[in-house]
């Protein structure tokens, strides 16, 4: 993270908090600079432009997410339990660190189309872990999955949908937040386990 420069780090921290507290639209280079007690153009000494600044924030968050999941799931020996641990950890990260999670998906640097691939794959370790866990579960005949790569992506997508509906406050007011998360996780998991035909 910190590349030996305090101002650079400070800019990132201020950006992150402003992004979370005041939203994407009102985040401006000038405001960030003012809060850092520095002129607006100084930011350009450390970041090529606004998109690169935002992209750096995204990368940091993706890295944090990967580390969080690895810490919770890597020690788990049984592959089905590890599978569940990964899914739970994903949701827990989103709910616990919304300001980090939201940056991953909510922020849209418009130039993102230009440079996503390598940088994005970089911190995809958690995803790779999920793929391998699914592969192991399939081998042991404990999971009903055609293609682990596809299944992992699907789970990732489903979990993102679940977490983001909660974070965006779009949840129906009649619905209890914790119940929604737990139920959803349970159904996502059930969707991939071996099942016997219904009679």
* Residue of 14, 18, 40, 189 interacting with DNA (CB under 7 A): 40
44 binds, among DNA, its own copies, none (CB under 5 to 8 A by kind): DNA
Who contacts 155 (Cβ-Cβ below 8 Å, separation ≥6)?
87, 130, 188, 192
Nearer CB in complex with its own copies: 44/153: 153
At its nearest, how many Å lie between its own copies and the CB of residue 38? 25
Residue 72 binds DNA (CB under 7 A)? no
Rounded to whole angstroms, how far apart are CA atoms 35 and 88? 36
Phi-psi region of 189 (alpha: psi -120 to 50; beta: other; left: phi over 0): alpha
- The least distance separating DNA from the CB of residue 108, rounded to whole angstroms, comes to 14
Tokens of 126: 């958690």
The answer to whether 88 contacts DNA (rule: CB under 7 A) is: no
Find which of its own copies, DNA, none residue 97 binds, CB within 5 to 8 Å per kind.
none
Least distance to DNA from the beta carbon of 56, Å? 13
Q: What is the number of other CB atoms lying within 10 angstroms of the CB of residue 75? A: 9
């Amino acid at each position: 993270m910190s590349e030996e420069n305090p101002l650079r780090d400070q800019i990132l921290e201020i950006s992150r908090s402003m992004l979370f507290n005041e939203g994407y639209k009102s985040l401006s280079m000038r405001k960030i600079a003012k809060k850092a007690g520095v002129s607006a153009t100084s930011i350009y000494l450390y970041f090529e432009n606004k998109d690169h600044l935002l992209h750096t924030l995204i990368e940091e968050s993706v890295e944090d997410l990967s580390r969080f999941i690895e810490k919770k799931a890597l020690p788990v020996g049984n592959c089905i339990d590890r599978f569940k641990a990964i899914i739970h950890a994903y949701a827990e990260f989103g709910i616990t660190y919304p300001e980090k999670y939201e940056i991953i998906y909510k922020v849209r640097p418009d130039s993102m189309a230009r440079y996503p691939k390598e940088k994005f794959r970089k911190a995809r370790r958690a995803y790779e872990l999920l793929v391998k866990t699914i592969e192991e579960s399939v081998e042991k005949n404990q999971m009903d999955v055609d293609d682990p790569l596809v299944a992992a992506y699907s789970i990732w997508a489903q979990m993102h949908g679940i977490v983001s509906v909660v974070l965006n406050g779009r949840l129906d007011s009649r619905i209890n937040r914790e119940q929604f998360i737990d139920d959803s996780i349970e159904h996502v998991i059930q969707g991939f386990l071996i099942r016997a035909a219904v009679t």
